[in-house]
Amino acid sequence: MSKLTRDDLYSLEKYAEVRKDFRAKVLEHKKHRKVHLGAHATLYFEDQLTMQYQVQEMLRIEKIFEAAGIEEELEAYNPLIPDGCNWKATFMMEYGDAEQRKVELAKLGGIEDKVWVQVEGFDRSYGIANEDLDRTDETTGKTSAVHFMRFELTPEMAAAVKGGAAVNMGVEHPSYTETLAPIPDDIRDCLAGDLD
């Protein structure tokens, strides 16, 4: 999957014109890229379209139109686009109540290293998390509610997914364990499109 360039982006003026329709398209696309792992954990699988939306929104909010600023946004978000041999996801621990979230995140240190995907017939592949910076406080053990992950797949795993093999996903932390086995076919088929 190719990385975004300035040529892939709308100007601020054009984005203002197309934003409503573009946003609707992206939200529909994201429905097939979201995996709930229990009541409080979700994997949002990213791709070129989801990252284009993020970049466009950041440019709009920050009113960035200069080349250097646009390049900074591209450098920040392009690493979240799959490379053809992996899946990249935003992992979120979601608690509606702020106090409950604070208490739960204090128990979930290291959870980002316990999230996995498994292609039928193969071993689990654990997410490589937060390559940009550590998001668990080593002193308190409190983790962030958001983590960025990369799940590497072998060529054989990728071929199996593209051939229709079931995909399971889960998290196995002492304070939060959930498994979705298998993920729905529409999500598997969408994620298969991220693989070479």
- Lowest mean per-residue pLDDT among 43-47, 88-92, 135-139: 135-139
| pLDDT interval class at 136 (50, 70, 90) | low
> How many independent structural domains does the chain possess?
1
How sure is the predictor about 132, in pLDDT bands with cuts at 50, 70 and 90?
A: low
H helix or E strand, kind and range, residue 125? strand 125-126
Torsion of CA 153, 166, 156, 3, to 10 degrees: -40
Residue 94 confidence class, pLDDT cut points 50, 70, 90: very high
Query: For residue 142, is pLDDT > 90?
Result: no
Counting every residue written for the chain, the total comes to 196
Q: Containing domain of residue 116, as a range? A: 6-192
In a domain, 51, yes or no: yes
**1 within a domain of the structure (yes/no):** no
pLDDT at 12: 96
